[in-house]
Amino acid sequence: MTEPTRTQASPPPDRASDARHIARSGVLQLLSAVGQGLLPVTHILVARLFGAVVFGAYQASVAILDVLTRAGQVGSMGGMHRFIAAHRAAGEEELTTRALGTGIRMTVTVSSVLALGLALLARPIARAWHEPHLASTLPIMAPAVLLAATTLVLVNATLGAKVARMSLYVRGIGEPLLLLTAVVLAWAFGGGLRNLAIAHVSTALVVTAMATAACARVFGGARLRQALRAEQHPSFVRFALPLGASDLMSAVLQRADTLLVASFAGLDALAVYTAAEFITRVIANPRYLFDYIIAPVVSEALATRDLERVRYNLALVTRWVFTACLPVAVTIVVLRAEVLGLYGATFVAGTGTLVILAITNTIVACLGLTPYVLAMGGRSRLFLINNTCAAALNIAVGLVLVPRMGIPGAAIAVLVSTGGFQVALTIEAWLIERVHPFTKSLLKPMAAALIAFAVEYALRASLHPGAGRVTLVIAAGAVSFLAALFALGLGAEEREVVRKLVARLRRR
């Protein structure tokens, strides 16, 4: 085995440079989230154009694909964040190349096997859900397991290199636009679940090609080819396998509710549940913007045991996530009937379920960054234990509640298991690394969100139904939240971002 080559290590970043990197990358990820905002439009179109039954069957298929995609990555996403960031900071270019190649090869191999298995098991799955069309559409969609897993690993390799714009191009712009176009074309060519399946896998194929080009752009085409032939990274597999199993349990945790609803309540109920779940997922999107920004920063800091840097960055980004997600949660809860009504009149039955899922996603948003302290510290086995326990709890509670309560029971199971999972990881990060995300500055966005809730609730109660009421509620909530936030006082980092933005606008 050859000795890894070294180049000159990068100088350790200070707080200001960390804040600049996080802010700059956060803006790019925010633009990516705006692009991903087309996905709810696509879902509404599917429900409207194809009908609730096809929409439910499609979402059940996507749930299976999501679980298998997470399993197919075998923890490689986390490995990309940990090893690429740490090796680049240390100037270990050969190890960076070997980590890149090891992650890609693992993902392609395992996800290919899972895609083949899904194609072969399509008929038993169709019989279990009493939906014969799945027997022909699941084999069509099965290659999306390989394509989606490969896309995620390639994009996250670029994020491990601390280049955020490729995620914007591929997942923020390309994927939602292509899927929306493909869905419209599928309907124009006759509709039906089969055409929808072809649209889904065709989109996945083009997006994977874009991700490959993006990764080659960041690392260089020659180096990407070299990585695929390079020796296995000495620690990547040992770290990634428990993390991959943890990701699989996390996927079960996130998708068990969908599969239980499909099994016990039927695809019509699944359509309503999926609409509520997809809407409330938007609440946690601000946190997902920073997931793959904070991970490389934490990895670098833990590699040098700079815990003060970890504490500073974790508290800073958590404050920004609080500020971004709380007003979204408030507006979705207040306008829950109107938002669900976009899917169709029958979907309004899911308003109670939506409120429960909104609480869950708010917890996920506010606490979800802290687990990266454990993952980037190499404690992938601890992550696996937590995810396994949470997934088992989700399934157990769901098996009890879904047959009795329907979709509210599934939402309660998710709240209990996911909330417990996030709280447990936050406590463990404090006990093991003495790191937590809480500061007094979090009280300001919380107070501003309560003021916005009072304003929105009062306006909705006093105005007649219609588009005008929805517009006024959203506008008044945003204005009252921002006004309260400025009145309570911005943090130093936020003031610096505002100052630079104003200065740039003046120059232009």
**Which tens digits make up the pLDDT trace of 280-318?**
988 988 787 777 677 777 877 777 788 888 888 888 888
267 part of a folded domain: no
DSSP class per residue in 358-379: HHHHHHHHHHTTTHHHHHTTT-
248 part of a folded domain: no
> Which of 218, 234, 250 is the last residue in one of the domains?
234
When divided into structural domains, the chain yields a total of: 3
> Which of 382, 407, 438 is the last residue in one of the domains?
438
Q: Is the pLDDT of residue 1 over 50?
A: no
Alpha carbons within 13 A on the beta-carbon side of 297: 31
77 and 217, same structural domain? yes
Token code pair at residue 405: 């309560």
Token code pair at residue 438: 């809480």
Nearest to 324 by CA among 295, 287, 281: 287
Q: Is the pTM of this model over 0.85?
A: no
392 part of a folded domain: yes
Q: Is the pLDDT of residue 446 over 90?
A: yes
Among 217-231, 245-259, 275-289, 476-490, which stretch is predicted with the lowest mean pLDDT? 245-259
467 and 413, same structural domain? no
Residues 481, 477: Cα–Cα separation, whole Å:
6
Q: Is the pLDDT of residue 5 over 70?
A: no
Q: Which residue has the higher pLDDT, 150 or 381?
A: 150
454 and 402, same structural domain? no
Alpha carbons within 13 A on the beta-carbon side of 44: 14
487 and 387, same structural domain? no
DSSP class per residue in 36-66: HTHHHHHHHHHHHHH-HHHHHHHHHHHHHHH
pLDDT at 185: 94
pLDDT at 88: 78
pLDDT at 298: 80
18 part of a folded domain: no
292 and 144, same structural domain? no
385 and 407, same structural domain? yes
Quickly state the pLDDT bin for 21 (edges 50, 70, 90): low
Quickly state the pLDDT bin for 505 (edges 50, 70, 90): low
pLDDT at 496: 76
479 and 428, same structural domain? no
Q: Which residue has the higher pLDDT, 169 or 13?
A: 169
pLDDT at 243: 74
Averaged pLDDT, 153-175: 83
pLDDT at 412: 96
Q: Is the pLDDT of residue 49 over 80?
A: yes
247 part of a folded domain: no
119 and 41, same structural domain? yes
423 and 449, same structural domain? no
Averaged pLDDT, 135-163: 90
Averaged pLDDT, 89-105: 88
pLDDT at 152: 92
Residues 132, 138: Cα–Cα separation, whole Å:
11
Residues 145, 273: Cα–Cα separation, whole Å:
23
> Which of 419, 438, 457 is the last residue in one of the domains?
438
253 part of a folded domain: no
Quickly state the pLDDT bin for 450 (edges 50, 70, 90): very high
Q: What is the pLDDT of residues 359-406, one digit of tens each?
A: 999 999 889 888 878 877 778 778 778 888 888 899 999 999 999 999
Q: Is 152 exposed, middle or buried (0-12, 13-18, 19+ CB in 10 A)?
A: buried
Instruction: Tell me the percentage of the chain whose pLDDT exceeds 70.
Output: 92
pLDDT at 153: 92
423 and 451, same structural domain? no
Instruction: Tell me the percentage of the chain whose pLDDT exceeds 90.
Output: 39
242 part of a folded domain: no
Domain membership of residue 122 as a residue range = 35-234
Quickly state the pLDDT bin for 9 (edges 50, 70, 90): very low
Quickly state the pLDDT bin for 3 (edges 50, 70, 90): very low
Among 24-38, 60-74, 279-293, which stretch is predicted with the lowest mean pLDDT? 24-38
Residues 35, 212: Cα–Cα separation, whole Å:
20
146 part of a folded domain: yes
423 and 395, same structural domain? yes
Averaged pLDDT, 89-117: 91
In 10 A of CB 450, how many CB atoms?
14
Contact 72, 229 (CB under 8 A): no
Q: Which residue has the higher pLDDT, 485 or 134?
A: 485
Residues 357, 352: Cα–Cα separation, whole Å:
9
Contact 133, 51 (CB under 8 A): no
Contact 390, 255 (CB under 8 A): no
Positive or negative torsion for Cα 325, 71, 397, 337: positive
Q: Is the pLDDT of residue 52 over 90?
A: no
Q: Is the pLDDT of residue 2 over 50?
A: no
Average pLDDT, the chain: 85
Residues 356, 334: Cα–Cα separation, whole Å:
13
Residues 170, 148: Cα–Cα separation, whole Å:
12
434 and 400, same structural domain? yes
Nearest to 182 by CA among 328, 23, 39, 335: 39
Q: What is the pLDDT of residues 326-335, one digit of tens each?
A: 999 999 999 9
